[in-house]
Structure 1
Amino acid sequence: MTDSSQLLWEPAEDQISNAAMTRFRERATSTHGVALHDYPSLHKWSVEQPEAFWNLIWDFCNVTGERRGDVLRSESEMQDCRFFPESYLNFAENLLRFDDDQLAIVSRLENGRRKTLTYRELRHQVGAFAAFLSSKGVGEGDRVAAFMPNVAETIVGMLATTSVGAIWSSCSPDFGVNGVFDRFGQIEPVVLIACDGYFYNGKTIDSGPVVGEVCARVASIKHVVQVPYIGLPVLDVDATVVTWDEVTRSLQEPEFLRLPFNHPLYIMYSSGTTGVPKCIVHGAGGTLLQHLKEHQLHVNLNRSDTLFYFTTCGWMMWNWLVSGLASGSTLVLYDGSPFHPGDTSMMDMIDEEAITVFGTSAKYISALQKTSAVPKTSHKLTSLRTILSTGSPLSNESFRYVYDSVKSSVCLSSISGGTDIISCFTLGNPVLPVREGELQCLGLGMDVAFFDDDGETLEEGKGELVCRTPFPSMPIGFWRDEDGRKFHGAYFDRFPNTWAHGDYGELTSSGGVIIHGRSDAVLNPGGVRIGTAEIYRQVEKLPQVVDCLCIGQDWQDDVRVVLFVVLQSEIDLDEELTNTIKSTIRSETTPRHVPRFVIQVPDIPRTISGKIVELAVRNVVHGLPVKNTDALANPEALAFFRDQPLLQMD
């Protein structure tokens, strides 16, 4: 077990006593007569008594629905276990429980356009859109898809879809035709909500050709709802087209169809970098309970908060953000580049919208740091109390940057989970300290451990992140995987009856977690397993390095570490900088971590949601095909890694 690292922040006594996490622990103690004195004892109880824990979450978070029968129906196979199998609810009804003039949504575009909806206005638009769907025969089990930016209309469409019992799925408009077809072609939506275009980094992008091609290739699409953003005429597509204004003209109260707790809510997608994306089906009740737990307990979210997360609606953090409506918070949406028109545009927005919880990616924090911005002196940031980071491990340097240069009194919570569970395994915690390089704690109700290769629990050291018992936000399956074989193979083949998540990490002595990267990207020089994040943490300290990617190259019956770097403009990689990079890695890790070669490239390939693709680069280096380049935001970058002369040398 790794020793805990430097303490960066501690909650004050009043913050602890006023936190929802504390109230929940006290309620669990009084309701169930157990001695729960601190977070570790609460977490232990939550995984040992899942029925009591999740039942209490239902009560504490005021879930609207009809609770009946068992809390957990256990089966011989973990993947078949179901929570609240006899209970009924509607997801949209729980997100629209408030009906007043508080702002529900503030929607901002990078060109300065701003739109707001109160909770009452949101309900009425949802009611109007739901009536349109019903008039077209859309109902229980049908699919509605969106090719949309992160704007208020996308949320209205989702809530209307789920209010009538249909299933929602979305892609952001930066997906290409094949990327959209690989997703929507599998699930066969009957309605497509589509924008005419969007704005990014000062450019206006026309979505018309992509929408037209998608409608031509996905025969199930009968109706298109066009949302005007860049002012194009009505789209010419192979479907009936109506405009957003036509659909939402007659505002009305929504009606909610209550369906079984595990009724399909969302179809999400794997990255698709190794083939056609997997269609992951998530249930309404499990998603709702998990998000309520994470928001209200682990983030301390409530009606007085303004919640922001930088995301597109093609990333699960969009779904996570939208669930903030169930806690009555105001959501701030943003679509565009986070650095347009200036490096500190997001910091400007925190002040302008009085954001209290600011969510972003580790990559954004690192990029902001490299601009030399010091928001604590250039901005007020008075409202800001929590910063959330996910997408990849947050480096020690980025932890320090936030506390040194952004705001010293925030709770900086690095969180980790994924699309597969539409939530998190490791989370922040408003009643626990923040330590450099660590995620604060394991999530309540999540029986997380780290296994060695033989499936034994590690008390210390690095291993495979697993979850040993069922949790409500497990997918209910993959789309059109009737016998469940693909689903089982994705998560339960590695260790019997145990969810293997594909992350490589370890516990710390303080109860925190360090994630060292994805298991399938782990390096293995000389038989020693090394997580790529262990190297990235060191390289990202260097101001000359903008981005990096590390792989293991098979060479002479072993594996050698190769590091690719993107450098600041007008900097070339020379022997001195190469030695600096290697010595920085060696001094902070081990000689095994030091790359055999450091190679400069102009760009690093990423998925559309911004994650680097080590496996795709490894395939290119080894002359193997990359099966689905449509999943990449910049597939042309793969060419930089092909036929590198250094990699043919000893």
Structure 2
Amino acid sequence: MNTDTDLLWSPGPRELENSQVARFMAWVSEARGLRFADYAELWRWSSADLAGFWSAVWEFYGLDAVSGYEEVLADASMPGADWFPGARLNFAERCFARATDARPALVSLTEGGSPEETSWHELRTQVADVAAALRGMGVEPGDCVAGYLPNLRQTVVALLATAAVGAVWTVCSPDFGTPAVLARLRQARPTVLVAADGYRYGGKTYDRRPEVAELVDGLPTLRHVLAVDGLFPAPAGPLSARPGVRRHPWSELPSAEGELEFAVVPFDHPLWILWSSGTTGIPKGIVQGHGGIVVELLKALGLGIDLRADDRYLFITSTSWMVWNFLVGGLLHGSTVILYDGSPTYPGIDGVWEIAERTGATVLGLGAAYLTAAEKADSRPAEAFGLGRLRTVLQTGSTLPPGTWRWVHDRLTPGVRLQSICGGTDVCSVLAGSTALLPVRAGRIQAPALGVALASWDPEGRPLTGEQGELVVTAPMPSMPLRFVGDPDGSRYRAGYFDTYPGIWRHGDWVTIGTDLSVVVAGRSDSTLNRSGVRMGSADIYAVVDQLPEIADSLVIGVEEPDGSYFMPLFVVPAEGSALDDALRRQVAAAIRNRLSPRHVPDVIVQVTAVPRTLTGKKLEVPVKRVLQGARPGEVSSEGSITHPEMLAWFSEFAAARATPTGRQP
């Protein structure tokens, strides 16, 4: 009789013998003479002998036939690690390395539409056409091509074409407001913008042609717009009032002459810019390289998630979330990548399961918020849909309550494995996650990822086991940022990760690591707003709210709740002569929705008499967050170190009132 009530899944013979990680262990044993009794031994070797592990990944995935290198890790400093000097490769070329027309490369599905397949040959031809067009526009290695695009086939094509040329890709989802997009893309200085005319979401169609015109006017480096027109008629007049910007309809691009050519670039040549807002200042433009992303996603998707060439890989995501890049990385394994553009709850809560059934998904990635909503709605996906091909569900974005883990196990096809993964935009990969070699237990991520020297530290830098501490990475990873955009001396990069523990990566999450290596992430240890996996800096919210003349001051907090939900209140101090009524609440919400993102509209907008600050003027975001999560005011701040200390007691009363059945505010 099984008394392990938390046990949800155990590896069988296929996982223990034929999973990618099992094959890797066997290969290392034969090629290197190293033997590992279990995953724990394999992880300890992988995180201690970086040169040995990453050279094994390089050879196991056939990169030794692509390029040699001088050494694996010439400099292990953080920041500034020097990986695989002398190696030359190209991300886009590696995405075609396992191409076979036995299976489609892409399956695309928009809200309310039918799945459309793109073969590997068709994908290669389309990438060649766009790469030739970019070269014709004067794009050279190192230039930036930006996207203002939803999750479409054209978005993948544009990324691969940009990478093939050796240019740098970046993208923002069109559900972001124009100021939020400009705050990112102006830093990237694109010469080409690939822009969609609109998108569908929640049964509605959104016309973004006016926003595209605003972007053209607001990006002084722009010279060309590659227009993806599919929802609305093309404009009859000029694209914008700004002269010198040419419009090229995607549908009218000429066919390329000759084969698709790839720029063979150094390992650390920039591939793309991802955006992750911190708590202050402009959004962070995180630059990652061709080589680091190739080896990291080969390892993370292959040895971690066990993605295979015969998989159909679907992740419900927008292009502004790093898991979109993680999804496209499935091409590195020859997998069929499924692109869904729309709401996961359209036309109802079971929208995701219908998409998985229609596309034959075998690997399905979801945010925690969707799974908890499906559980609350008493959804029964296995009864209502044909999910016989589905073998694993990936969950990320925030923590998942143990009860929801059990719901997934009980309500999906028997044998489906729930993989909870924790990573981040910063590394575009997994820090702690799944392995086919270990059992799955409710509420616990299985283990640190291979090649990740993960630890939990106390404030003095002492390792913790079984106690909550700061999530740190004590040795470099190949996909750590090359640099930040507009940070020539690296000061902003160092401040982002290395100020707390010099030379050690502090990720910004609370984490508990068990003696069995299981990992429990309790949420952000800083004040970055992480809604459905898409991070937004509190500074972005303040830049909108504090400009309103009716608002004198504001404080926004993102709180991970015990049930896995995410509570995001906005506290405001009205300006003299103003009052926070429903009209002003609607005005604030509309400003955030239109200028930033619908995802980051606060759950509640509450009036306060003052915003507490440190004596140097910094808003008390993290201490207030801790109070809202149950800490006592005296535990989060020392006497005499803040302004308006009485407000901490107010926030404590607010938290207590929310916990009552009526939820009355103080």
- Any conservation in 2 of the 1:98–1:119 contact (CA below 8 Å)? no
Distance (Å, rounded) in 2 between the aligned partners of 1:445 and 1:609: 36
Q: Find the counterpart in structure 2 of residue 175 from structure 1.
A: 176
Distance (Å, rounded) in 2 between the aligned partners of 1:12 and 1:119: 33
CA RMSD across the alignment = 3.1
Q: Find the counterpart in structure 1 of residue 535 from structure 2.
A: none
- Any conservation in 1 of the 2:434–2:445 contact (CA below 8 Å)? yes
- Any conservation in 1 of the 2:314–2:361 contact (CA below 8 Å)? yes
- Any conservation in 2 of the 1:314–1:609 contact (CA below 8 Å)? no
Q: Find the counterpart in structure 2 of residue 596 from structure 1.
A: none
| Structure 1 SS opposite 2:205 | strand
Deviations 1:59-91 (A, max 9, x none): 11223632220110125x321111102111011
Q: Find the counterpart in structure 1 of residue 567 from structure 2.
A: 548
- The CA deviation at 1:619 is 10
Amino acid at match of 1:311: T
TM score, norm. by length of structure 2:
0.80
Q: Once superposed, which parts of structure 1, at least 4 consecutive aligned residues long, lie more than 6 Å away?
A: 532-535, 550-553, 611-621, 623-627, 643-646
Residue of 410, 413, 424 corresponding to 2:430: 424
Distance (Å, rounded) in 2 between the aligned partners of 1:374 and 1:135: 52
Amino acid at match of 1:312: S
- Any conservation in 2 of the 1:521–1:551 contact (CA below 8 Å)? no
Distance 1:534 1:21, change over 3 A: farther
Do residues 242 (structure 1) and 262 (structure 2) align? Answer: no
Q: Find the counterpart in structure 2 of residue 499 from structure 1.
A: 505
- The CA deviation at 1:616 is 11
- Any conservation in 2 of the 1:108–1:335 contact (CA below 8 Å)? yes
1:532-611 pair list within 5 angstroms: 536-538=561-563, 548-549=567-568, 608=597
| Structure 2 SS opposite 1:460 | coil
Residue of 473, 476, 485 corresponding to 2:479: 473
Q: Find the counterpart in structure 1 of residue 132 from structure 2.
A: 131
- The CA deviation at 1:501 is 0.5
- Any conservation in 2 of the 1:515–1:533 contact (CA below 8 Å)? no
Residue of 424, 434, 441 corresponding to 1:435: 441
Amino acid at match of 2:239: D
- The CA deviation at 1:644 is 9.5
Choose 403-412 or 184-193, whichever is displaced more. Answer: 403-412
1:39-438 pair list within 5 angstroms: 39-63=39-63, 65-74=66-75, 77-101=77-101, 102-234=103-235, 236-237=239-240, 238=242, 239-247=245-253, 249-250=255-256, 253-271=259-277, 274-438=280-444
Distance (Å, rounded) in 2 between the aligned partners of 1:318 and 1:335: 11
Amino acid at match of 2:20: A
Distance (Å, rounded) in 2 between the aligned partners of 1:248 and 1:316: 31
Amino acid at match of 1:337: S
Distance (Å, rounded) in 2 between the aligned partners of 1:487 and 1:118: 40
Unmatched 5+ residue regions in structure 1?
Answer: 523-531, 541-545, 554-601, 628-640
Deviations 1:614-640 (A, max 9, x none): 99999997378999xxxxxxxxxxxxx
- The CA deviation at 1:251 is 7.1
Deviations 1:543-593 (A, max 9, x none): xxx86358999xxxxxxxxxxxxxxxxxxxxxxxxxxxxxxxxxxxxxxxx
Distance 1:163 1:609, change over 3 A: farther
- The CA deviation at 1:613 is 7.9
Q: Find the counterpart in structure 1 of residue 14 from structure 2.
A: 14
Q: Find the counterpart in structure 1 of residue 23 from structure 2.
A: 23
| Structure 2 SS opposite 1:80 | coil
Distance (Å, rounded) in 2 between the aligned partners of 1:646 and 1:262: 51
- The CA deviation at 1:428 is 1.0
Distance (Å, rounded) in 2 between the aligned partners of 1:68 and 1:173: 40
| Paired-residue identity, % | 36
Q: Find the counterpart in structure 1 of residue 586 from structure 2.
A: none
Unmatched 5+ residue regions in structure 2?
Answer: 529-556, 573-588, 620-646, 658-664
| Structure 2 SS opposite 1:78 | coil
Amino acid at match of 1:334: Y
- The CA deviation at 1:14 is 2.7
Distance (Å, rounded) in 1 between the aligned partners of 2:518 and 2:605: 31
Amino acid at match of 1:537: P
Q: Find the counterpart in structure 2 of residue 568 from structure 1.
A: none
Choose 39-48 or 252-261, whichever is displaced more. Answer: 252-261
Distance 1:251 1:396, change over 3 A: farther
- The CA deviation at 1:93 is 0.3
| Structure 1 SS opposite 2:195 | strand
| Structure 1 SS opposite 2:291 | helix
Amino acid at match of 2:458: D
- Any conservation in 1 of the 2:99–2:334 contact (CA below 8 Å)? no
TM score, norm. by length of structure 1:
0.82
Amino acid at match of 2:353: M
Distance (Å, rounded) in 2 between the aligned partners of 1:60 and 1:13: 22
| Structure 2 SS opposite 1:312 | coil
- The CA deviation at 1:170 is 0.3
